[in-house]
Amino acid sequence: MTLDLIKPGYTAILKIIGGEGALRHRLLDMGLTPNTKVTVRKVAPMGDPIELFLRGYVLTLRAEDAANISVEGVEKI
Amino acid sequence: MKYLLALAGNQNCGKTTLFNCLTGSNQHVGNFPGVTVEKKEGTILKHKDTVLVDLPGIYSLSPYTAEEVVTRDFILKEHPHAIINIVDATNLERNLYLTLQLMELNIPMVIALNMMDEVRSSGNSIKVKELSNHLGIPIIPISASKNEGIADLMDAVMKVLEENKPAIKLDFCKGEVHRAIHSIAHIIEDQAKDAGFPLRFAATKLIEGDKPMIEAMALSESENHILGHIVEEMESALHTDREAALADMRYSYIENLCAECVIKHHESKEQIRSEKIDRLLTHKYFGIPIFICIMMFVFYLTFHVLGAPLQSLLELGIDVTTNALSHLLTITGVSPWLHSLVINGICAGVGSVLSFLPIIVLLFFFLSILEDSGYMARVAFVMDKLLRKIGLSGRSFVPMLIGFGCSVPAIMSTRTLSSERDRKMTIILTPFMSCSAKLPIYGMITMAFFPHHSAIVMISLYLLGIIMAILSGLLFKNTLFRGKPIPFILELPAYRFPSARSVVLHMWEKAKDFLKKAFTIIFVAAIVIWFFQSFDWSLNMVTDSGHSMLAGIGSILAPLFAPIGFSDWRASTALIVGLTAKESVVSTLSVLTGATGNVALSGALHTIFPSALAGFSFLTFTILYMPCVAAFAATRRELGSLKGALLTALYQTTVAYIVALLVFQIGHFII
């Protein structure tokens, strides 16, 4: 399962951070490292981007980029 | 200067507020060499021999954004005596990620642990002493917005400067990564020394596969081979790749550190409050309407309630000054041309631009409140999908919106965009948003030609501007700016009350910027236009501007406008004068036609524009052609190149011509 498919109100554990170059590096730098727990908080009014909560702060990224991140252990909060 | 200090930290951690606390208003804004990344520096209050440089807000020292490269180059090449690393205590995990990288740069450092008041008021705490011991760096809890702990911070910085001892504890790696770093450090010791890099930093960056570092180190083939082997071994042992391995190593260390030193009973109050506010402000259905309402309210206050009276007051002041000056010049009996130069040239030209000042200051007042409170990031979040279609990101929405008020602050506000590509594109597209100075022109033409359909004409003009911006965006996306947009990965900071000091300083900075422009480039432009308007070709002063060089140039250009419907020299002259400020198109036309009053002007316009279609074509051209000199000056400054600004103006004018041509020719065919 990939991160873009997680519905708001669910948490998941990040497994593989895919993608390449600047985008991937930025994701890692922002703390989206394997085994990090994230909560999908919200989807923007027009359906994209998505809003995440992780490591005590709020981050937004586009669904197409979230699609590169595979997750496990999806749970409802 | 005795000491050079660097201030580094994440975005939204209160860095600018701290910078203002430390330097007061002794600030100087410039650019880092070669890039349009803003560089602020100032002398520290009470330590006049110490200069502080505010480095851009960054999350890492990767080589991917201009900001990160600038920071790293600055620290490596300018060798500041110490780094003040500001860290958001409510968001320690992510903030310390940068700290660990800064530590590798081998420069004395002090951590300013900001927003400690929020941590405490949420019932949480941080064991500052333990944290400091683990990192081997002095940590001073502060609250920049309340101006608390600043003296302690500077004491610690001074102490560190005297000791001149870099952070020594670089024990945050372990296992496979640790082994790899040490093996590589061993191999590259001499090269790193020769190239002037801190050894540990060079080794880590080589493992990460950092391109600038690989190039700078110029390792031999065999060394590269060994390096590749070490990295491969590390990757296969950890079952991951080099970039993830290092990020994971840093974050794992930080997680353990926080588990030990941070006592967190609750989510922070600010975070909980923000989530509640966002339930409304980024609501699925209400988010966009609320945003539109907020912006309309800001515009209403800026241009109507507060701006209009202030503007007329300033205009009155300028008038009084001009009259007094005129009187003075008359008494002293200076020659008529000098009188005209000062009064009709400089005072009129600079004065008309200067009268924008209240609007610019007000707009930046509201904008910095919206920005500092954290709302702008939400706007980017809400609007991103729309702007992505033309190759931009949500961040560009606000400058474009301000463009409806005035292009000058709009272009100035693109400074907040992090990607250079997005910034350039936004600067070029923003003037297509019809600015408020063009309204009098619309009023004049619609009154003369479309008295019963003024609303629909106005709306169609605004729409035309927006459509041209979209089409241009699509064009640029697929040609000039084909490069990949930088990824849209944006932090939504917790909502906070903006500090009055930051808002005021920001306003002052923009006002200063604008005033500087008004008295340099606009000053010159006013004199040039005055010269052409007041003299004929044999350099005799004219009383009737119809005989001036400007009118002559207007006449020469007039045939150019024949295909778009108006070949009268007065129209082309008005368009040229409109470059000083768009509303002067109206005053020029009334001067040149000799019409006094709106009714007379309406009648006179029928002698200039042969048909309503020609009038509409004139409007089309007006809304799209190059903006006024003030906006041009802003474009030049923000693009950082005169050539770029000229090309932008050429593009805008060409688009205006083509669209007006299409409107007129197709319209002609239909009607």
Express each pLDDT in A44-68 by its tens digit: 999 989 999 999 999 999 999 999 9
Name the β-bridge partners of B378. none
Contacts of A48 in chain B (CB under 8 A): 384-385
Q: How far B169 CA sits from the closest chain A CA (Å)?
A: 22
B566, two tokens: 């108006």
How far the first Cα of chain A sits from its last, in Å, is 18
Cβ contacts from A onto B, under 8 A: 121
- Look up the CATH number of the domain holding residue B150: 3.40.50.300
Q: Which of B240, B263, B286 is the last residue of a domain?
A: B263
Q: What is the CA radius of gyration of chain A?
A: 11
B353 versus B555: the higher-pLDDT residue is B555
Q: Which of B110, B139, B163 is the last residue of a domain?
A: B163
In A1-77, which ranges are E strands? 10-17, 37-43, 50-54, 57-61, 69-76
Which residues lie below 8 Å from residue A29, measured CB to CB, with a gap of 6+? B59, B60, B62, B97, B247
B456, two tokens: 């629909």
Average pLDDT, stretch B526-546? 84
Res B591: pLDDT = 76
Chain B: residue whose CA lies nearest to A17: B244
Res B289: pLDDT = 93
Q: How many Å apart are CA B251 and CA B430, to the nearest integer? A: 41
B308 versus B535: the higher-pLDDT residue is B535
B22 & B158 share domain? yes
B117 & B256 share domain? no
What b/e sequence results for B318-346 when a residue is b if at least 16 CB atoms lie within 10 Å of its CB, and e otherwise? beeebeeebeebeeeeeeeeebbbbbbbb
B119 & B234 share domain? no
**Range(s) of the domain holding residue B246:** 175-263
Is residue B581 pLDDT above 90, yes or no? Answer: no
- Kindly state whether residue B214 falls inside one of the protein's structural domains: yes
B212 & B66 share domain? no
Q: How far B383 CA sits from the closest chain A CA (Å)?
A: 8
A64, two tokens: 């197409």
Phi, psi of B116 (to 5 degrees): -65, -30
Q: What ipTM did this prediction achieve?
A: 0.96
- Answer whether B324's CB lies under 8 Å from B518's CB: no
Is residue A12 pLDDT above 90, yes or no? Answer: yes
Res B477: pLDDT = 87
- Kindly state whether residue B312 falls inside one of the protein's structural domains: no
B59 & B198 share domain? no
Question: CB distance B381–A55 less than 8 Å?
Answer: no
Express each pLDDT in B469-514 by its tens digit: 999 999 998 888 777 666 788 999 999 998 888 889 888 887 887 7
Is residue B35 pLDDT above 80, yes or no? Answer: no
SS3 content of chain B, % helix, strand, coil (to 5): 70, 10, 25
Chain A: residue whose CA lies nearest to B13: A57
Angle among Cα B312, B313, B314 to the nearest 5 degrees reads 90
Res B433: pLDDT = 92
B67 & B203 share domain? no
Q: How many Å apart are CA B200 and CA B169, to the nearest integer? A: 12
Question: CB distance B489–A60 less than 8 Å?
Answer: yes
Angle among Cα B93, B96, B101 to the nearest 5 degrees reads 140
B592 versus B23: the higher-pLDDT residue is B23
Is A57 an interface residue toward B (CB < 8 Å)?
yes
Chain length of chain A: 77
The H or E element containing residue B238 is helix B221-238
Name the interface residues of B facing A (CB cutoff 8 Å). 59-60, 62, 64-65, 90-94, 97, 240, 243-244, 247-248, 251, 267-268, 271, 274-275, 278, 282-285, 287-288, 377, 381-382, 384-386, 388, 486-494
B239 & B186 share domain? yes
Chain A: residue whose CA lies nearest to B274: A58
Contacts of B94 in chain A (CB under 8 A): 30-31, 55-57
What b/e sequence results for B195-209 when a residue is b if at least 16 CB atoms lie within 10 Å of its CB, and e otherwise? eebbbbbbbbbbbbe
Picking from B67, B87, B249, B251 by the largest number of A CB atoms within 10 A of its own CB, the best residue to mutate is B251
- Look up the CATH number of the domain holding residue B248: 1.10.287.1770
- Kindly state whether residue B481 falls inside one of the protein's structural domains: no
Is residue B170 pLDDT above 80, yes or no? Answer: no
Is residue B117 pLDDT above 70, yes or no? Answer: yes
Res B299: pLDDT = 79
Is residue B521 pLDDT above 90, yes or no? Answer: no
Res B34: pLDDT = 65
Residue B47 one-letter amino acid = H
Is A10 an interface residue toward B (CB < 8 Å)?
no
User: Which pLDDT band, with edges at 50, 70 and 90, does B214 fall under?
Assistant: very high
Phi, psi of A59 (to 5 degrees): -130, 145
B388, two tokens: 């992505």
Res B355: pLDDT = 75
Is A46 an interface residue toward B (CB < 8 Å)?
yes
Is residue B596 pLDDT above 70, yes or no? Answer: no
Is residue B172 pLDDT above 80, yes or no? Answer: no
B157 & B181 share domain? no
Q: How far A53 CA sits from the closest chain B CA (Å)?
A: 10
Q: How many Å apart are CA B149 and CA B140, to the nearest integer? A: 7
Coil, strand or helix: which one is B671?
coil
How many domains would you assign to chain B?
A: 2
- Kindly state whether residue B32 falls inside one of the protein's structural domains: yes
B161 versus B513: the higher-pLDDT residue is B161
Q: How many Å apart are CA A29 and CA B250, to the nearest integer? A: 10
Which residues lie below 8 Å from residue B96, measured CB to CB, with a gap of 6+? B87, B254, B257, B258
Q: How far A51 CA sits from the closest chain B CA (Å)?
A: 8
Q: What is the CA radius of gyration of chain B?
A: 29
Is A7 an interface residue toward B (CB < 8 Å)?
no
Contacts of A47 in chain B (CB under 8 A): 385
Domains assigned to chain A: 3-76 (2.30.30.90)
Chain length of chain B: 671
Q: How far B7 CA sits from the closest chain A CA (Å)?
A: 20
Which residues lie below 8 Å from residue B354, measured CB to CB, with a gap of 6+? B314, B318, B515, B518
- Give the closest residue to A57 by CA, choosing from B149, B103, B115: B115
B65 & B39 share domain? yes
- Kindly state whether residue B30 falls inside one of the protein's structural domains: yes
List the single range of B130-144, B258-272, B339-353 with lowest mean pLDDT.
B339-353
Average pLDDT, stretch B357-375? 87
B113 & B16 share domain? yes
Express each pLDDT in B651-666 by its tens digit: 999 999 999 999 999 9
Picking from B62, B492, B495, B496 by the largest number of A CB atoms within 10 A of its own CB, the best residue to mutate is B492
Question: CB distance B489–A51 less than 8 Å?
Answer: no
Res B177: pLDDT = 92
B283 versus B542: the higher-pLDDT residue is B283
Is A31 an interface residue toward B (CB < 8 Å)?
yes
- Kindly state whether residue B55 falls inside one of the protein's structural domains: yes
Q: Which of B215, B236, B263 is the last residue of a domain?
A: B263
Res B257: pLDDT = 94
List the single range of B168-182, B254-268, B586-600 with lowest mean pLDDT.
B586-600
- Kindly state whether residue B228 falls inside one of the protein's structural domains: yes
- Kindly state whether residue B500 falls inside one of the protein's structural domains: no
B24 & B157 share domain? yes
State the angle between helix axes of B612-624 and B439-449 in degrees (0 to 180), rounded to the nearest 10: 170
B12 & B118 share domain? yes
